[in-house]
Amino acid sequence: MKTQPETVFSDLKIAAFSWAMVGPLTLKFFADYGATVVRVETSLRPCVTRTSPPFKDDEPGINRSGYFSHFSANMMSLSLNMNNPLGVGVAKDLVAWADVVMENFTPGVMDRWGLGYEELREINPRIIMLRQNGFGMEGPYRNLGAFGMILAAIAGIPNYIGWPDRGPLPVGVGAYTDCISPRFASAALIAALDYRDRTGKGQVINLAQFETALYFFLPGLLDAAVNGREPVRRGNAVPDAAPHNVYRCRGKERWCTIAVTGENQWKSLCGAIGGPDLATDPRFDTLLHRKENEAELDALLESWTSERSPEEVMETLQAVGVPAGIVENAADVFEDPQLRARGLFWPMEHSEIGSFAHLGSSMVLSKTPAQASMPSPCMGEHNEYVLTKLLGKTDEEFVELLAAGALE
Amino acid sequence: MTVQRVRMLEGYRALDLTDERGFLCGKILSELGVDVIKIERPGGDPGRSIGPFWHDDPDPEKSLYWFAYNSSKRGITLALETDRGKGVFRELVNTADFIIESFDPGEMERLGFGYDELCRIRKDIILISITPFGRNGPYSCFQASDLVLMGMSGQLFMTGDPDRRPVNIMMPQACLHAGADAAAGAMIAHHHRRRTGEGQHVDISMQQSAAWFLAQTIPHWEMDNLILGRVGTFRTSSRGTLQRQVWPCRDGFIFFFMIGGQQGVKTCRRLVQWMTDEGMGNEFLQQYEWERFDMANATQELIDRLSQPIAEFFKTRTKKEALDAAISRNISICPLMSMRDLLDDPNLAAREFWVLVNHPELNASIPYPRRFARSSENLIEISRRAPLIGEHNDEVYGELGLSKESIASLRKAGVI
């Protein structure tokens, strides 16, 4: 009889060389389900998220960034000076130890360190390498700085955001594409593990963040290819539903959504907001009429919502089966009872930040739920553990590497 | 001689019961080699009524939305409500490794195919459920649309101009965050099953998937009680100063904003050099010490004085010139690509991203993404256009061992 492993990935070892958000977001699919994840960093050039606000008590510090820490639960940090041959040597030991090497630098960086796929394969023939660059390993854009706003604009996303009388708008969250490729990459990586276990063969997977972003706008791309049509900005209006908008609520910057997608919902909405004549008002009695008089309709609804909190609008309308919700700001999301019930945030004690909510998993698995087992790492926090426990170095060897400046 | 490369997940099967909330999950699994069978109600999936349409003809066999997210799947029809349909579905479950569904919570149980029931048919089945808010919890029975979900995920609040109401991305997104998460979740569960023989139920919430990545938003609230608002065409500082980030150019828009720090200084200097080389040099910009620029305390007067010559310069440039300069001069600017630009894009061409897929019944080929990733060992690739209604009934039910007569009888009874 097989013994039950503790976690899904309790025997999976990942070495990660990453920059900014795409690395940790991909690693989360493994780290949150028990993989041993070692992130190679350097204090000589810390990840941009370590040096970005917010900082605990507004004091900048390499271990004080809430941005970095929020996304780094369950991962270890190994600091390596990759300009030092001994540092590169440790990286190669890590490759020999690992099942998976993940990287998302611009093409060339890993190869300059002698960590291209062919070299990795010589060290570890079964290695699976994931290269998740902005634009891929080949092509004219490969060296473009691939940060969020650039990728989103190149992928054409702002064409889909804005008002008819104004220009295109960036996605609010900025680096929107950062969360797209990690899902695709994780699925492919786990599939490659299955293939490796059946055949003994490793591989390199190259995924361009730019390309997976296009999967989120495919119908628009097909529309352009087939019908020659480009997106036309129309605010929150849609052709097949009205009312369908964001409405002002009581209070500063408080908003709700209402999206009526059928006649029954329209009747329920009329009943709920207490206008008995509204349902039979000839201006609004059919979808066609509501679309024709949408500005009037929106104004009428807003006169009702603006006297209420978004919570009250949501509860009143959901009670009668009308899709409506709070336009949640950061505080709302943080306190959202549904997201709380599903354990989206993991409060853990961080040695420099104190109690702090780390981001959890995006999903709930019935038999192997994600687990919060370790707070975000300080820079190099796991150097000794990784070198002596995982890579089998002696204490003397560890001290030598330290003294030689390889672990900076 | 070329060696036929195999797919990573050759030999696994998924039954895809989703509507538009979950199409993407099966698409991702299919590109990795899973035999994904899309099960539609007789007459076709309601997702076929979602536009845009081939030549704007609203026909269930011409939905580009359907095409986009159901490629590489086989398609069968089956009335799950009927007793005979349930019997056939049980047979199918017995051949499946994954079941993906996006009914409202409780609907699978009502049909007699809750997780426990499915386990009785196939002990190690993995069931992936995609619902608006998740299967349990205080909002689990709420009604939703993409607008409502994006609102409740925190994404919507931050998107739009500060002087107007929040504005949603026009292409539904919550279903795609959830569908992609579902594919990753299916694979995590699959890994567990390979090691232990145990299946499980993967519970995906569209709200949670969309809320999963909000960048610095949540830590800013937790650490500083700061609520990040809408940035719009202009970035704002905490002092209310505004800096443009979407700039009109000759044939569209360029995205750029001034930042200090090492990276920012380099980009700003290179941009000024480009302006100078093009005969639009500006003395103030040439002499400005960009190291000193800090959006947090720059005055509006300074921002305007720096921005104005840049705005004038960008107006004289095309999108292509901006992209060329970004590449050759290593400047962090980029044009806003149109959909046509993307179809003709040289980087996507260099990576053979677009592939023409034949639609014989339309007498046409349509470009689709060939694959979402490249593999040195395996084939990751789209294999066929999305299925027509019931296109693979004979094939799939035949594989199941049903005789031609029983298939005909099921068809006659309206079960398939």
Nearest to B94 by CA among B123, B68, B69, B67: B123
Q: Which of A257, A260, A358 should we substitute to test contact with B (largest number of B Cβ atoms within 10 Å)?
A: A257
Domains and CATH numbers, chain B: 13-213+351-412 (3.40.50.10540), 227-343 (3.30.1540.10)
Sign of torsion over alpha carbons B394, B395, B400, B404: positive
DSSP A155-175: TTGGGGSS-TTS-----TTS-
Q: What does each C-alpha distance from B264 to A147, B44, B235, B331 come to in angstroms?
A: 13, 53, 15, 9
Task: Return all residues near A245 (Cβ < 8 A) that are at least 6 apart.
Answer: A235, A236, A237, A257, A258, A298, A301, B147, B165
* Biggest distance spanned by C-alpha atoms of chain B: 85
Q: Could you tell me the two tokens for A159?
A: 């064409």
CA nearest A74: which of A32, A39, A102?
A32
Q: Which residues of chain B lie closer than 8 angstroms to A157, CB-CB?
A: 169
Instruction: Using alpha carbons, select from A59, A124, A104 the residue that is nearest to residue A210.
Output: A104
CA angle B62, B65, B68 (to 5 degrees): 100
Point out the residue among A153, A193, A227 whose CB comes nearest to the CB of B56.
A227
Instruction: Provide CATH code, domain A244-329.
Output: 3.30.1540.10
pLDDT in tens, A235-268: 999 999 999 999 999 999 999 999 999 999 999 9
Residue A174 has pLDDT above 90, yes or no: no
Q: What's the pLDDT band for B2 if we cut at 50, 70, 90?
A: low
Q: What one-character DSSP code corresponds to residue B158? A: G
Q: pLDDT (tens digit, 9 = 90+) per residue, B99-141?
A: 999 999 999 999 999 999 999 999 999 999 999 999 999 999 9
Interatomic CA distance for residues A343 and A361, integer angstroms = 8
> Which residue intervals of chain A bear CATH 3.40.50.10540?
13-216+342-403
* Inter-chain CB proximity B366 and A226 less than 8 Å: yes
Structure tokens at A156: 């054409």
**Contact list, B9 vs chain A (CB under 8 Å):** 191, 194-195
Q: How many CB pairs under 8 A join A and B?
A: 485
Contact A216 B340 (CB under 8 A): no
To the question of pTM greater than 0.95 for the whole model, the response is yes
Evaluate the omega torsion of the peptide bond into residue B52 and state whether it is cis, within 30 degrees of 0. yes
Is A222–B213 a contact, with Cβ atoms under 8 angstroms apart? no
The CATH superfamily assigned to A13-216+342-403 is: Crotonobetainyl-coa:carnitine coa-transferase; domain 1 (3.40.50.10540)
Taking every pair of Cα atoms in chain A, the longest distance, rounded to a whole number of angstroms, is 86
> pLDDT-based confidence at B237, cuts 50/70/90?
confident
CA proximity to B101, closest of B65, B121, B125: B125
Of A163, A328, A339, Cβ closest to residue B151 = A328
Of B164, B194, B222, the CB nearest to A66: B222
Query: Which of A67, A150, A259 minimises the CB distance to B216?
Result: A67
A352 and B CB contact within 8 Å: no
Q: What is the mean pLDDT of residues B390-411?
A: 96
Q: Mean of the per-residue pLDDT values for chain B?
A: 95
Question: Which distant-in-sequence residues (6+ apart) come within 8 Å of B236 by Cβ?
Answer: B162, B229, B242, B243
B350: part of which helix (H) or strand (E)? helix B346-350
Closest-approach residue (CA) in chain A for B202: A365
Residues of chain A with CATH 3.30.1540.10: 244-329
A227 vs chain B: nearest CA distance in angstroms? Answer: 6
The span from the CA of B55 to the CA of A229, in Å, is: 10
Residue B38 CB coordination number (10 Å): 28
Distance CA A181, CA A20 (A): 14
Token pair in block for residue A324: 């409506």
Residue B204's H or E segment, with its range, is strand B201-205
Inter-chain CB proximity B255 and A153 less than 8 Å: yes
Question: Is the separation of the CB atoms in B318 and B249 below 8 Å?
Answer: yes
Alpha carbon distance A114, B127 (integer Å): 43
What are the chain A neighbours of B56 within 8 Å (beta carbons)?
Answer: 227
Q: Around Cβ B321, how many Cβ atoms within 10 Å?
A: 18
Q: Does the pLDDT value for residue A26 go beyond 80?
A: yes
Asked whether A200 and A223 are in contact (CB, 8 A), the reply is no
pLDDT band for position B3 (50/70/90)?
low
pLDDT in tens, A156-170: 999 999 999 999 999
